[in-house]
Chains A and B, each alone.
Chain A
Amino acid sequence: MWTDKQNQTLILILDELIPANEKAGVPAAGALGVADFFPAATPYAPDPVQSITGILKAVDDKIPDFAKLPRAEKIALLKDVETRHAADFATLVRLTYMGYYSRSDVRPMFGVGPHPVQPKGYDVARESNELMDSLTAPVRARGQVFRDV
């Protein structure tokens, strides 16, 4: 669907949309392989491949060798493309977030379990009666807060 060069550019673009946090071991979107998500993203955008191809073409029209640009220039170029191709760029951003955060290996990096939320869910202890009594005591002490009719 895309040439090797386009694929390489796409990965670099994705790395700028969601950059890595190397200190925390959180990968960037391109390095994680989010590009693989796009062809199957038709339930979430009318024509994802067409939108992304449009962005790749817009980047290529501006600079044939995106990879060689220093980071600050890459970002500036992408901001320019975002302005000129707002709808397609918005689709790219949205699908990048979807492809990245839907991965079960990514969720734990943000404190969320890797597992499907059913049937396991999360262990959350119910507050003890003593804690709830103490928390609600000021509210109860004030008394009725609804109007009598």
Chain B
Amino acid sequence: MKNEPVDVLIVGAGASGAAIAWSLLETRMRILCLEQGPHLADKDFPSRDDDYELSRYGKFSCDPNVRGLKQDYPINADDSCIMPVNFNAVGGSTINFLGHWPRMKPSDFKTKTLDGVADDWPVDYATLSPFYDMNDQTTGVSGLACNPAYPKYSPPLPPIPIGKLGQTLAKGFNEMGWHWWPSDVSILSEDYDGRQKCVNAGTCDLGCAAGAKGGTNFTYWPMLENAGVELRTECRVREIMVDQDTGMATGVIYHGPDGQVHEQKAELVIVACNGVGTPRLLLNSKSKMFPDGLANRSGMVGKNLMFHPLTGVTGVFDEPMKGHEGPMACSILSQEFYETDATRGFVRGYGLHSGRSTTPMTYALGGFGIDSPIPWGDEHRDVMDNVYPYIAGLTVVAEDLPEEHNCVTLDPNLSDSDGIPAPKITYRLGENSRKILKHGEERAKEILLAAGAKKILSKGNDIVWWRAGWHQMGTCRMGDDPNGSVVNGWGRSHDVKNLFIVDGSIFVTAGAVNPTSTIQALALYVGDSIKTNIETLFD
């Protein structure tokens, strides 16, 4: 089935697809977005149910292989120590992300120059800075200005409460003389732009039914739909079509909710499917002109997959920490060990995040993202009565380095419900990342003890968290060299002049911060570059 052509076709209605659609609104081009998931209604969010925690292990799991919904594609992670997690709906993974909103730092864009590792980005912090600001305003970001870990900027809203847990840990950091700061979050500390402030429900991963969390289903999409951007849900793109004479993208083939295969023509195609979905789509878009996948003459599509490997340390305190009250992952963030220090034995660094604790069921089952239940029997009784209420923890978020052997490919045997090949992840933890995690674990113990912890709980067995693949980066990286990168410095494919990529796959390095604010700032920057270069866009 054919549809009327559009000017701009965006694949994916998550963080980056929404942001670039917003940027391109003023061009008055006809914009269409195809999203494989549905538009969730209030009633679809489990946080309004009595047994809300159960959905974390079913239809609202962060793991698509656990959810197994029609809109989900399976992911083969048998050859990976980290499972990619996501959500497929309008809003994408901003539906179930935790709202952490740190920016990358100036040094993150210059790791080759500064530290001799990876590559420098073709853009820098100063260039992205106004787009970070613009995105913070639209999203509604809470935080405390003048963080000494960054060039000066001011979040539009005051910080969310750091709570007893955050205050306790802050004292530990102060005792050690180390940096910490209230977390920047895309969670409203005050009513903002018609949205209600956070009620401290503590289950951000189950979607925020109140709209206090900055999912694009609540931020960008209401504006976009009011402004006439067409959003077609439950439409899964199979491949991007290319004119075999001109080498230009002509549109896409997608599976619609009617069960039919559709063809959609477009002048400009923008891919916003995340660091796993985007290489999957390109690799599945093979043709005579692009036998190894679309826009893949460099061979870099799917390569250099980066996550943020995580581990955690927990302290047991004398008083209840009330860790289930307040935004789930966000209280305070230390970037004391973020920048390279050669004496530590590794390059780059990590952040220490004070995630709050979680609800009893999730704790008993091993913690968020971990499938390792606490013991049964008398030990169970002891842990739940004498440990669970009293815990505060620190999560080590390590910067991963790009390595070509860490990659996304197409699985030869596994496919989604439309028969489209599923992605296969091949990933092993790099030696540098391993050293970072070890260092972070030791420092976290020191802080917890300094904060007054009476006991430290740490796995200490070198295992990273399994369901920790929230941040999928690097698989279609930016660069000036067409032989070593997939897109140029403003997101345009080197090989296909009317094809753009705007999600985390274009990251050159990972930094050690949650990437969504950078993903959206980049998407706004790419949108701005499209507008700036509109006259010569396809040259």
Contacts from A to B (Cβ < 8 Å): 16-21, 24, 26, 43-44, 75, 90, 93-94, 96-98, 100-104, 106-107, 110-112, 116-127, 131-132, 135-136, 138-140, 142-149
Contacts and interface: CB of A to CB of B under 8 A. Distances in A.
A122 B326 contact: yes
Contacts of A24: 385
B335 A127 contact: no
Contact of B179 (A93, A142, A149): A142
25 contacts: A19-B377, A26-B385, A43-B58, A43-B59, A44-B54, A44-B58, A97-B373, A98-B53, A101-B53, A103-B51, A107-B360, A117-B202, A118-B210, A119-B48, A119-B199, A121-B201, A122-B199, A122-B325, A132-B159, A135-B167, A136-B170, A136-B181, A145-B338, A146-B107, A146-B149
Contacts of A127: 159, 161-162, 167
A125 to B, nearest CB: 6
Given A16-B377, A117-B202, A149 B158 contact: no
Nearest to B54: A102
A101 B177 contact: no
**Across chains A and B, which 5 residue pairs bring their CB atoms closest together, nearest first?**
A121-B199, A101-B361, A117-B201, A43-B58, A122-B325
Contact of B106 (A103, A112, A149): A149
Given A148-B106, A149-B124, A17 B380 contact: yes
Interface in B260-305: none
A139 B148 contact: yes
B380 A18 contact: yes
Interface of B: 45, 47-54, 57-59, 105-107, 109-110, 114, 124-125, 144, 146, 148-151, 158-163, 167, 170-171, 173-174, 177, 179-182, 189, 198-203, 208-210, 320, 322, 324-326, 335-336, 338-339, 359-361, 364-365, 373, 376-378, 380-381, 384-385, 388-389
Contacts of B198: 121
A116 B203 CA distance: 10
B144 A140 contact: no
Contacts, number: 177
Given A19-B377, A44-B58, A93-B376, A124 B163 contact: yes
Given A75-B377, A118-B209, A147-B339, A123 B200 contact: yes
Contact of A145 (B124, B179, B199, B325): B179
A135 B180 CA distance: 10
B196 to A, nearest CB: 9
Nearest to B201: A117
A115 to B, nearest CB: 8
Given A19-B381, A106-B360, 12 more contacts: A18-B376, A100-B361, A102-B51, A118-B199, A118-B201, A123-B200, A127-B159, A131-B167, A136-B170, A146-B151, A146-B335, A146-B339
A106 B50 CA distance: 11
Contacts of B200: 121-124
B360 A101 contact: yes
B361 A145 contact: no
A94 B201 contact: no
Given A16-B377, A124-B325, A147 B107 contact: yes
Given A98-B361, A104-B50, A145-B335, A110 B148 contact: no
Contact of B144 (A116, A117, A132): A132
Contacts of B114: 147, 149
A18 B365 contact: no
A124 B389 contact: no
Nearest to A104: B50
Contact of B47 (A107, A111, A117): A117
A97 B109 CA distance: 45
Contacts of A120: 199
A139 B376 contact: no
Contacts of B49: 116
Contact of A118 (B47, B170, B360): B47
Contacts of A140: 146, 148
B209 A119 contact: yes
B109 A149 contact: yes
Contacts of B373: 90, 93-94, 97
Contacts of B177: 138, 142
Contact of A149 (B54, B125, B201): B125
A112 B363 CA distance: 12
A87 B45 CA distance: 31
B50 A116 contact: yes
Contacts of B106: 146-149
A138 B124 CA distance: 30
A88 B189 CA distance: 45
A53 B105 CA distance: 56
A106 B364 CA distance: 13
A66 to B, nearest CB: 16
A102 B144 CA distance: 36
A135 B173 CA distance: 10
Given A106-B360, A110-B360, A122-B200, A145 B161 contact: no
B389 A111 contact: yes
A135 B170 contact: yes
A111 B390 CA distance: 10
